[in-house]
Chain A
């Protein structure tokens, strides 16, 4: 059945501490998991749930975003009816750029108003998960909630920056605080909100009229008494990827077969931009184990506990351990990496050795030659 649900992936003022990984790209297009960008997870989940129309509210550094998404065809969103809308900020003047997301929602209100779809799901790009929004909407209707927020019971949430929520016995949100708050709870918000389109437009206008422009803080958290905000608890795998340690940790989690299996296949596949790389070539003498390897790589050296993105070259004698090497990286002969994250197109010269710690991996800038 067609879901009467439209999607928004909100990239306005994303909270992140990603260092140079977001120097020239937005959080949504940070590479992840060997061949994906962070946004692929929310976007694929929406498509697999049967959501026919998705808008990406872009904000800053969105060249890589537009390059990645193209016409949306790779997510099957290149359609005559509905499909993908990439909406950059539509401000009246430059000074409006820094205003909160509600202001930008308001400027994009035609996107909502023009559609006959009844409900909206607003998500962020950095929640790595595979989720059926149809079930979230069913929960929302069952509970007769005003707003449903997707949460997860997650005792070991220390690496990412997350809002924490306190629920009552019925699963209603009674308190929620930003990541620097003191609320002691093992329920984290996955920053996915389902609500009626009319309610959203009403919240946008009343909040802005009161001089408030922050969607979560002003439209939701300050109304926890008057609105019924229900929590839907997600059972599946989750990665909150908005800091470097979290990025590293959640990539490494993919080396567990059960995580790999669930995140990439269930309930649906994760789509990304197709690159037409050939299969990966392992040469004689290669020693690769406990690793995730994308297509188009050429491997002569040794790789353990690592993630290689598309088109990576590991030369003879090179040793890569517990590291993440992004697209087209080259590790020269007898080079050695341990606990490193190499951004795209980094070249490690022969014999060069680099080592980070497992808590704070060494991070190399895009296109650096080291």
Chain B
């Protein structure tokens, strides 16, 4: 007998993360490291599980190797289930040929067959690009309460930033009256988080019509939602008050890591009622040598610290040599920092090697310094060494 799921999730994980530059060389954006231990996608996957959603389709496209290996069959998130569970859904070839996912809506359209196997009442659309902890069950409740066709999770953003988001205007009952994608003159500061719940028949119908529409970019924010709104569908906003961050740029990725070091971080990773699950690297407890000093930092398993670390985030397996000083920095997994190195306001990519005596970044630098994943950096030879007598 086929099990019916009330609500299944479709997680868009095809993001390229182009603005993350050398950190996404071989990596889709959802696989980018965050918070000393996690990858960005861990947050949405953990949210699903903690919200009681046990069926998740993960739509991958760009650079899927690392992401696929990371996701496996979903066991780290408890999503290796007999019924439902996690399924990786790359674009595939059909009888009439296959195409890449053209846009967010097209990605879901191409996987309507997957959704229908579960015959859900509701479909949650989320992306693997944001850091936040959210109970999707509350979103579903408000969707049902409003007898909505679609419910959009929204967050209040500073007016100055409003033109970077999809902005909603709502009436007194939070029904959406207007939706503008990245408006030059925003009429409100309620931003769409890219988290939607649709009643499945409504979404199904909307996707088919959107696909038939030539000239559509097949995107939820640009096409599907504006069309539904124009047609008078019942679209509601669901207000979210917690921490939510798009870590699409080097600056925002660095900032979001630093946010974790606040006295009372807005994003609590130590909340046992809302654990963030991830693939655990199986490393021993980290070791601080007798010379080490660590202040206001996050350090993961398997690190060996022999220098000084201030206001920094160290991922698993990082090594910091003697006499080195790490400040306001994010050091990704397995990076090896030599002796007498100074790293300030920087992100050092996964597996990078920074040789003895190097200096990276500066306290007054405007831009965050970046060492790419796997890069090998050596100090400039000193003059006397370069010209042996």
Binding site for A on B (CB under 8 A): 35-37, 75-76, 263, 269-270, 275-278, 280, 282-301, 304, 309, 313-315
Contact = CB atoms under 8 A, between A and B. Distances in A.
A264 interface: yes
A257 B270 contact: no
A225 to B, nearest CB: 44
B289 A282 contact: no
Nearest to A308: B285
Nearest to A296: B270
A171 interface: no
Nearest first, the 3 A-B pairs at minimum CB distance are A34-B285, A279-B36, A278-B269
A282 B285 contact: no
A292 B285 contact: yes
A283 B283 CA distance: 23
A290 B306 CA distance: 9
Nearest to A294: B285
If over half of A's interface residues share one DSSP class (helix, strand or loop), that class is named, otherwise mixed; here it is loop
A307 interface: yes
Given A278-B35, A278-B276, A279-B300, A292 B286 contact: yes
A288 interface: yes
A293 B37 CA distance: 15
Interface stretch (A102-110, A195-203, A239-247, A267-275): A267-275
B35 A279 contact: yes
A304 to B, nearest CB: 8
Contact of A35 (B36, B284, B287, B296): B284
Interface of A: 33-35, 73, 255, 257, 260, 264, 269-272, 274, 276, 278-296, 298, 307-309
A316 B297 CA distance: 16
Nearest to A35: B285
Contacts of A34: 284-285
Residue from A280, A296, A298 whose CB has the most chain B CB atoms within 10 Å: A280
A282 B287 contact: no
7 contacts: A264-B284, A270-B284, A276-B276, A281-B270, A282-B309, A284-B295, A289-B291
Nearest to B80: A73
A95 B277 CA distance: 46
Given A35-B285, A257-B304, A260-B287, A289 B270 contact: no
A43 to B, nearest CB: 13
A289 B282 contact: no
Nearest to A290: B290
Residue from B37, B287, B298, B299 whose CB has the most chain A CB atoms within 10 Å: B287
Contact of A287 (B282, B287, B293, B296): B293
